[in-house]
Amino acid sequence: MSITDEKILYREIDNNTELLRIFSICGDIILPENIDNKKLIGIGAYAFAGEDSWNRVCKKYNDVIACGESSYPAICTNELTSIALPSSIEYISDYAFYNCRNLREISLFGGVQNIGGGTFMNCGKLSEITLRTNRNEHTCLNKLLSELTKKQYLTIIFTDTNEKAVMLMPEYFEESIENGPARIFEHFTRGSGFRYRQCVSNGLMNFAEYDSCFKFAMIDENEEICSEIAILRLMYPTELSTEAKSTYIAYLSENISIVLNRKIKNGNYDAVVFLCETIKPDEDILENTILTARNKQKTEILGYLMNIKNEHFGKSRRRRFEL
């Protein structure tokens, strides 16, 4: 929902604007490029944080301007569920989304060059990030990913080449364990997510390095995470080498029955079609997945699987799987 008809608090900075607060009925926010005909270039500190935190910051400003009228409450903390930033945004200030615990997705452009500290602190549900940028544009991706340790789906859309890359960033966490006799603490990083986040240099994703992390993911992560990494890289193969492609296909081939059944249960038709076309499961696996589709009443997927089976293996057992 666009907030242009709602109430916005902002301040002027060099004839541009910095967003301070939004009052709206909808938690899915699409920010405009201009406020009062002035370009919106930044998100203010604590802009979507709780009232107490925001009030402490706002007291420092003597130039707050209101645009629009609204009786709606401020969109902050639990009210914010998704946000799309315009291409005009250049920075996001400290703790802008602090405690936005229901924020699920954010969309931004490569023009964002600075992200403040604690920007996404306690945004535990933030799992989808979309970045629109040019192929060789240096972005804020390093800082963005360093703020987030949970599992994220990262989509990079290269606007100059019409390419799209979708990748999974696994979760990681750090822990300290006391070494009693030595009276020191040893620090450990758990999960492959930290390695994957190091594949970004100067805001550019190094796809070869990303693919090279898969050998660590197969050790640190479960099958579901590894399969999702493989599927997304094969479906969106930006700079995917022949060697990496073979590695992903080999992994999915070993786990194809489990992966297909999970995608069927989730109703992911596109993934089922892609897996069948890429891996080409044998007749026994197809029969098993057909049963799953029947039991879960996934009629579109069921019809597709039956057609694939009949096309490749004939209709000898068709009576068992009539719709």
Cα distance between residue 300 and residue 265, in whole Å: 12
The total number of structural domains in the chain stands at 1
**Predicted confidence (pLDDT) per residue in 48-87, tens digit:** 999 999 989 888 888 898 988 777 899 999 999 999 999 9
Residue with tokens 């949970």: 150
Assess if residue 4 is contained within a domain.
yes
Q: What is the domain-level CATH number for residue 104?
A: 3.80.10.10
Structure pTM? 0.90
> Considering the domain boundaries, does residue 121 fall inside one?
yes
Residue 7 structural domain: 1-126
The reply to whether 98 falls in a domain is: yes
Q: b or e along 113-128 (b: 16 or more beta carbons within 10 Å of the residue's beta carbon)?
A: eebbebbbbbbeebbe
Is residue 109 in a domain? yes
Write down the pLDDT at residue 316: 54
Quote the pLDDT of residue 191.
87
Burial of 307 (0-12, 13-18, 19+ CB in 10 A): exposed
In a domain, 36, yes or no: yes
Q: Which residues of the chain have pLDDT under 50?
A: 1-4, 318-319, 321, 323
The answer as to whether 10 is a domain residue is yes
**Spatial separation of the C-alpha atoms in residues 257 and 51, rounded to whole Å:** 50
pLDDT at 57: 87
Question: How many residues in total does the chain contain?
Answer: 323
Inside any domain, residue 288? no
**Is residue 185 situated within a structural domain?**
no
pLDDT of the residue at 176: 60
What is the pLDDT at residue 250?
98
Nearest Cα neighbor of 92 from 55, 128, 143 is 143
Query: CB burial class (10 A; 0-12, 13-18, 19+) of residue 264?
Result: buried
